[in-house]
Chain A
């Protein structure tokens, strides 16, 4: 690699990571693909676009045969994560107040919430899998555990707010 190709390579790396992410390619696989490009152009001294084609098109080639989640799957994940947070919070609230929620004990709702939420949490976690550099084991992009946290936190905050409202109006 020389001084002229380094910025081109950095840009290509970013574009390829984004394009493969959009195609739901697992993080480990993305890391492999990026490392292959970097290693190859380091040997040939080529421009990455000349050697591999535009990042978007190369990503499409790599993702061929890769099953992509349909939009409704994302919608179900979001809806079930939200519902789960809501049920857990409502159940916990009912349990704390020693009341029933819709005719059932609070802990039952907490349990139902967990059953609904765990598959969604697993899906989100899997999709945000780390992009690991196979050569060094380091993260290629700063990993973010926030996806799951935000998804669970929003309904919990909503219910806590409702809880506060109930306590105030009593």
Chain B
């Protein structure tokens, strides 16, 4: 991630980003971390990621199930629920409104002002 993106922005958007990742396809913790890193979120540590996943599950937005790994220990797979999908849709809409408002207020780095 770019050095000048504050970590509290990441903290704020992480639950939504994790939910969006799981909503793409049923997946497990390490794969979520890899997906987030590929998307430019930097390396999200297990100690940050699993509490978020568990919180989303407690809130009924995700479900989880342990599956046998291939030649390794089991993995906990997460899948989005209908409630989770609906929550993501509403949050994504709110997020876009929010970032548009912020963008309209902030100076444009590409302008000469």
- A contact residues vs B (CB 8 Å cutoff): 32-33, 35-44, 46, 50-53, 58, 61-62, 134-135
Contact = CB atoms under 8 A, between A and B. Distances in A.
Classify chain B: how many residues form its interface, as a range. 10 to 19
Nearest to A136: B74
Contact of B74 (A39, A41, A46): A39
B76 interface: yes
B46 interface: yes
Given A37-B46, A40-B29, A46-B46, 14 more contacts: A32-B54, A33-B50, A35-B66, A35-B74, A39-B30, A39-B69, A40-B30, A43-B29, A50-B45, A52-B45, A52-B47, A52-B50, A62-B51, A135-B74
A79 B28 CA distance: 46
A67 B74 CA distance: 30
Interface string B1-39: 000000000000000000000000000111001000000
12 contacts: A32-B54, A36-B29, A37-B50, A38-B73, A39-B28, A39-B74, A40-B50, A43-B30, A44-B46, A58-B47, A61-B51, A135-B74
B75 to A, nearest CB: 5
A143 to B, nearest CB: 20
B72 interface: yes
Contacts of B72: 42
A135 B73 CA distance: 8
A61 B74 contact: no
A35 B47 contact: no
A30 to B, nearest CB: 12
A58 B75 CA distance: 20
Contacts of A53: 45, 47
Interface string B31-69: 001000000000001110011001000000000001001
A44 B32 CA distance: 12
A44 B66 contact: no
Contact of A135 (B29, B33, B45, B66): B66
10 tightest CB-CB pairs across the interface, nearest first? A43-B30, A52-B47, A135-B74, A51-B46, A40-B46, A53-B47, A52-B46, A36-B50, A135-B66, A134-B66
Contacts of B30: 39-40, 43-44
Contact of B76 (A39, A44, A52): A39
A50 B7 CA distance: 18
